[in-house]
Homo-oligomer: A and B are copies of this chain.
Amino acid sequence: METNVQSAHQDIMEITARRNVPPIILVLVVANHVLAHHVIISMAANYTSYHKEKFSSVGRSPYLLQVREKEALEKLLEGLQQDSNAQESEQSHFQYIAAAPRIGIGMDASVTPLRHGGLSLVQTTDFFYPLVDDPYMMGKISCANVLSDLYAMGVTDTDNMLMLLGVSNKMSEKERDIVVPMMMRGFKDQAEEGGTAVTGGQTVINPWMTIGGVATTVCQSNEFIMPDNAVVGDVLVLTKPLGTQVAVNAYQWLDQPERWNRVKLVVTEDDVRKAYQRAMFSMARLNRTAARLMHKYNAHGATDVTGFGLLGHAKNLAKIQKNEVSFVIHNLPIIAKMASISKACGNMFGLLQGHSAETSGGLLMALPREQAAAFCKDIEKQEGYQSWIIGIVEKGNRTARIIDKPRVIEVPAKDRDGELW
């Protein structure tokens, strides 16, 4: 494993030099990629003996290939967009509007006006590689991540879900028979938690495990909130802490001495295990209450923070604004100790630069200044989780930036024995 991560990292540096691609993207790709393989093993490790040799399936070339894939897919999607007034959202999530003008361009979900009186079809799909050991929690995280695209548009009621599974042929029968039903159960339970149900799906076999789904709702135009109405004077609110990718990676490094040696000066093993738990539960948490409160507190638009990292998604949201505004981010709420790890790893994650990928992250929304504090108080009262005012909306040319020395807010501020938050 170590050697793979090593070689992958070298590959990245070569490719970065050669192809002038931001290394963070590549690291993200590799991180995902390693995780995809790691989880098959680590999930199995909960039940069966640990087969190190399986890591041999993670070779050198896959990274290079996947990196090229990444660039190429982005090109392809751009192509698809151009020939269809398309606009990308999410690293590998493409959407475009058809000839007839539609609501939905550049948003997290596609919005299709229906023939039936004023109704719109709001839909999204997402799937990715497993990234936590616990299959049940992985199912919940995947479901929460799919639903989050609807919640980002203020949709609170989802009419239907479909489950999309890619089951790895590298798993033993025993691993599979235990792991896959647990993932399905987690996905299904979280769908019910979200007030919806899984009524179908598709499963194929593929070497790398994938899990995801489709979320669909049919609603009146007053049931969703367009994301493009931010005005000067609004503030930016974030509903989950950052650092999930760092936490998940650091947790794996506990088994990788060379990696662990680089960070053990700034964190303890207990810090990492706690951060991993916090990340896991945060990723599995639904953004549904946040979506409800977007209506109550008159949000001017929102997006969910995932693969592009905080700054990437802030830029996407800024880009589509109707008014001449820009977003400035001053505060970074981060899962406790993950900022230290990111610093200790140099530019590997870019967490403080807003580049570190998140999975099933929080909603980033523009709220009227006078309502933001009430929103944060209300969501904490209802769910027991903090939200944070992290920045402002000022006059500008539809860009987003993080100030030079952002304030890092450790989440939680301090550990309480026996409590996660």
Contacts and interface: CB of A to CB of B under 8 A. Distances in A.
Contact of A98 (B66, B197, B202): B197
Contacts of A62: 169
A206 B166 contact: yes
A92 interface: yes
Contacts of A201: 93-95, 125
Nearest to A99: B197
Contacts of A173: 68, 72
Given A68-B173, A79-B181, A169-B62, A125 B203 contact: no
Interface stretch (A209-217, A248-256, A332-340): A209-217
Contacts of A203: 73, 77, 92-94
A260 interface: no
A75 B178 CA distance: 12
Contacts of A169: 62, 65-66, 69
Contacts of A65: 169-170, 205
Q: Interface of chain A, helix or strand or loop or mixed?
A: mixed
A304 to B, nearest CB: 15
Given A73-B167, A112-B160, A184-B80, A124 B200 contact: yes
A198 B124 CA distance: 12
Contacts of A121: 159-160, 216, 218
A27 to B, nearest CB: 16
A125 B216 CA distance: 12
Contact of A208 (B75, B90, B170, B207): B207
B218 A123 contact: no
A329 to B, nearest CB: 28
Contacts of A69: 167, 169, 176, 205
A81 B259 CA distance: 44
A126 B201 CA distance: 8
A327 interface: no
A280 B162 CA distance: 29
Interface residues of A, number: 73
A186 interface: no
Nearest to A202: B125
A125 to B, nearest CB: 5
Given A98-B197, A121-B159, A218-B116, A202 B93 contact: yes
A35 to B, nearest CB: 13
A102 B72 CA distance: 43
A127 B167 contact: no
A293 interface: no
A374 interface: no
A92 B214 CA distance: 17
A376 to B, nearest CB: 31
Contacts of A109: 200
Nearest to A61: B169
A403 interface: no
Interface in A84-132: 84, 90, 92-98, 102, 104, 109-110, 112, 114-116, 119, 121, 123-129
Contacts of A98: 197, 199
A157 to B, nearest CB: 8
A199 B125 contact: no
Interface of A: 62, 65-66, 68-70, 72-73, 75-77, 79-80, 84, 90, 92-98, 102, 104, 109-110, 112, 114-116, 119, 121, 123-129, 157, 159-160, 162-164, 166-167, 169-170, 173, 176-177, 180-181, 184, 188, 197-208, 210, 212, 214, 216, 218
